[in-house]
Amino acid sequence: MKIALAQQNYIIGNFEHNFNKIAEAISKSKQHGADLVVFPELSVCGYPPRDFLEFSDFIAKSQDVLKRIAELTKDGAIAAIVGAPSENPVAEGKDLFNSAFFIENGKIAHRADKALLPTYDIFDEYRYFEPATSFQTFNFKGVKIALTVCEDIWNIGNENPLYTICPMDELIKQSPELMINISASPFDFKHSRDRIDIVRKNVERYKIPMVYVNSVGAQTEVIFDGGSIAMNQEAIVHTELPYFEDALEIVEYNDLLNSTTKQNKEQNKEKFSLINDALVLGIRDYFAKLGFKKAILGLSGGIDSAMTLALAAEALGPENVLSVLMPSQYSSDHSVNDSVKMVENLKSPHKIIAIEKPNSAFLDLLNPHFEGRDFDVTEENLQARIRGVILMALSNKFGHIVLNTSNKSEAAVGYGTLYGDMCGGLSVIGDVYKTEVYDLARYVNRNQEIIPVNIIEKAPSAELRPDQFDSDSLPPYDQLDVILYEYIENRQSPKQIIQKGYDEKLVARILRLVNINEYKRYQTSPMLRISSKAFGMGRRMPIVGKYLS
């Protein structure tokens, strides 16, 4: 039996687009002699559909696509496994299941509903779905198959404390000979390794091979990296599909039973290579799925905007990214020079628009109302907001999307101006800590200088008042980032962080900054997610909360 793994990038709610992609893969798989083609979780409607699932029309459209897919299997030449929401016939409980459909000879021959519904971090599945409580294998071409959906294989041996059941422990009682799992398992820079591990643990426990098909593509902030796997029953990776792109590969089931694979065929999982590729895909899909081609950003001469430009140039083509240099009286010469050098390195367009005149116009207008108060953060924010207005005006006139250039450290402590440098339709590096931005810059420059070395080496400055440096108002980034990481990613309390050797006052100051700036992050654009805990939908905090603040 030949099985095709169809790793695809869908558009949520664009049923025509998704159906066409699925139909094309069915047709190709058939041409290559596949008996079965497997698609990812909720392939029919795209994942995550979120509250679109509350529209009965959306569910009806998903069902229609299922019927059209069934038509394609009518000749009996190929069967398919796809994911779609299905209606729960029982009145009590949630209205839907998150289901995998096995479609054969023009009919739905088997349905497996998801039992483990992730409801943490970015996931909200219990909001929509009822968990499955019964489990059934099915037969195809003489092979008994255990079909599961994503999270269902992540409670191996009840090791995952979130769940009380393990679907494969139930299914194994029926002696299946092959596991198939359809997933929409999002990227973070540690997760591709976890994913191989969990597939391996399943294979080692149940002693049968697994075909694991994952989604690929970015859906707003959440990036799916693909990396679908066929693992043989000796727990060796027989095939791993590429990361960050559509792919279709065919494996022979018998090859998964024999020791034909002598080596693990796994790909490079180097952190900054993965982050780079994830962010590039994140930008590309955000633009493509919204129907935009061109980006605009403010290029300040600092490392964050330089990094954003480098990634956008890779994603959209350097000719499609317009950099706007907006110097003020506080800008140093190197800010403009370094920025010009960078756009020349990339052969990317730029404009220089000095903000002096609107800045003076505002100050003339506002000074009589400022009641003689000193220059303070108001005048700093004003400059940042004028830059925001310029970027938004050009974006409105020519149809660019503005890229937000804030990093995770700044977003965490609120070191940024709302509607100023925090403006933009998409935050590219909002989930990358400042110290990681430097490492990523070295990765970007691995073959040639794209980001001028001076941008990487100079001390960070917002240049909103004379001789200003980030270190005037923030602790050094290497200290800041480790404390942020303990609080945000590891959810450690002040006491626990202090016990690790950090200064008590510093810890209290940083955690307070994180918490009192919730209101700013609430109004930030979506941030491409590359870590296990990104700001946005995966971290939900009350703005008026007064814990540690």
Task: Give residues 356-385 in contact with a second copy (rule: CB under 8 A).
Answer: 357-358, 360-362, 364-366, 369-370, 373, 376-378, 381-382, 385
Backbone angles phi, psi at 406, to 5 degrees: -70, 145
- Of residues 247 through 286, those in contact with a second copy by CB under 8 A are 285-286
Tell me how far, at minimum, the Cβ of 385 lies from a second copy, in Å: 5
Asked if residue 62 lies in contact with residue 97, where contact means CB atoms within 8 angstroms, the answer is: no
Applying CB under 8 A, does 49 fall inside the site for a second copy? yes
Q: Could you give the 3-state DSSP secondary structure of residue 81?
A: strand
Q: Using the rule CB under 8 A, which residue among 263, 495, 501, 505 binds a second copy? A: 495
- Token look-up 């937000």 returns 404
Q: What is the 3-state secondary structure (H, E, C) of 217-237?
A: EEECCEEEEECCEEECCCCCE
Task: Using the minimum distance from each CB to a second copy, give the nearer residue, 142 or 161.
Answer: 161
Where are the alpha helices (H) located in 32-74, listed in sequence order? 56-72
Residues 110-149 that bind a second copy (CB under 8 A): 119-120, 124, 126-127
58/443 with CB nearer a second copy: 58
Q: Least Å distance between CB 346 and a second copy?
A: 20
- Locate all alpha helices (DSSP H) within 347-447, ordered by sequence: 356-366, 377-398, 408-413, 434-444
Does 388 bind a second copy (CB under 8 A)? Our answer is yes
Distance of CA 477 to the CA centre of its chain: 24
Q: According to CB under 8 A, which one of 168, 418, 432, 534 is a site residue for a second copy? A: 418
Q: Does 12 bind a second copy (CB under 8 A)?
A: yes
- Select from 27-35, 140-148, 188-196, 353-361 the region that touches a second copy (CB under 8 A): 353-361
- Can you tell me which residue has the tokens 């039973």? 257
Considering only CA atoms, which of 98, 12, 13 is closest in space to residue 58?
Answer: 13
Residues 6+ apart with CB under 8 A from 391: 296, 297, 298, 324, 402, 423, 424
Q: Least Å distance between CB 34 and a second copy?
A: 29
In the list 24, 105, 136, 162, the residue contacting a second copy (rule: CB under 8 A) is 162
Catalytic residues: 41, 114, 150
- Kindly report the three-state secondary structure assignment for every residue of 235-304: CCEEEECCECCCEEEEEEHHHHHCCCCCCCCCCCCCHHHHHHHHHHHHHHHHHHHHCCCCEEEECCCCHH
Which one of 58, 272, 443, 502 is in contact with a second copy (CB under 8 A)?
58
- The number of C-alpha atoms within 13 Å of 201 and in the hemisphere containing its C-beta is 16
- Contact with a second copy (CB under 8 A) among 72, 250, 390, 510: 390
Q: Rule CB under 8 A: is residue 546 a binding residue for a second copy?
A: yes
d(C-alpha 313, C-alpha 301), whole Å? 16
Q: Rule CB under 8 A: say whether 353 interacts with a second copy.
A: yes
Interface with a second copy includes 349 (CB under 8 A)?
Answer: no
Q: How far is the CB of 134 from a second copy (least distance, A)?
A: 15
Find the binding residues for a second copy in span 513-542 (CB under 8 A). Answer: 519, 522-526, 537, 539-542
User: What's the min distance (Å) between Cβ of 125 and a second copy?
Assistant: 9
Q: Which residue has the tokens 């931005």?
A: 437
76 lies in the site for a second copy, by CB under 8 A? no
Beta pairing class for 138-140 and 247-252: unpaired
186 binds a second copy (CB under 8 A): no
Give the up-direction half-sphere exposure of residue 363: CA atoms within 13 A in the CB hemisphere.
17
Q: Residues 158, 260, 454, 471: which binds a second copy (CB under 8 A)? A: 158
The token pair at 326 is 């907006």
Q: Applying CB under 8 A, does 543 fall inside the site for a second copy? A: yes
- Within its chain, how far is the Cα of 364 from the centroid? 44
Q: Regarding beta strands 229-231 and 79-87, do their DSSP bridges make them parallel or antiparallel, or are they unpaired?
A: unpaired
98 makes contact with a second copy (CB under 8 A): no
Which residue number, 219 or 435, has a Cβ lying nearer to a second copy? Answer: 219
Among 31, 76, 89, 91, binds a second copy (CB under 8 A): 91
User: Does residue 435 belong to the site contacting a second copy (CB under 8 A)?
Assistant: no
> Restricting to residues 304-343, which ones interact with a second copy according to CB under 8 A?
none
CB nearer to a second copy: give 459 or 544.
544
Omega prior to 475 cis, within 30 of 0:
no
Measured from the CB atom, the residue of 29 and 219 that comes closer to a second copy is: 219
**Separation between Cα atoms, residue 50 and residue 21, nearest integer Å:** 21
* Conformational region of residue 399, where left means phi above 0, alpha means psi within -120 to 50, and beta covers everything else: left
Could you say whether residue 509 binds a second copy (CB under 8 A)? no
Q: Is residue 386 a contact point for a second copy (CB under 8 A)?
A: yes
Q: Is 425 in the site for a second copy (CB under 8 A)?
A: yes
Residue 472 interacts with a second copy (CB under 8 A): yes or no: no
Q: Which is nearer to a second copy, 223 or 444 (CB)?
A: 223
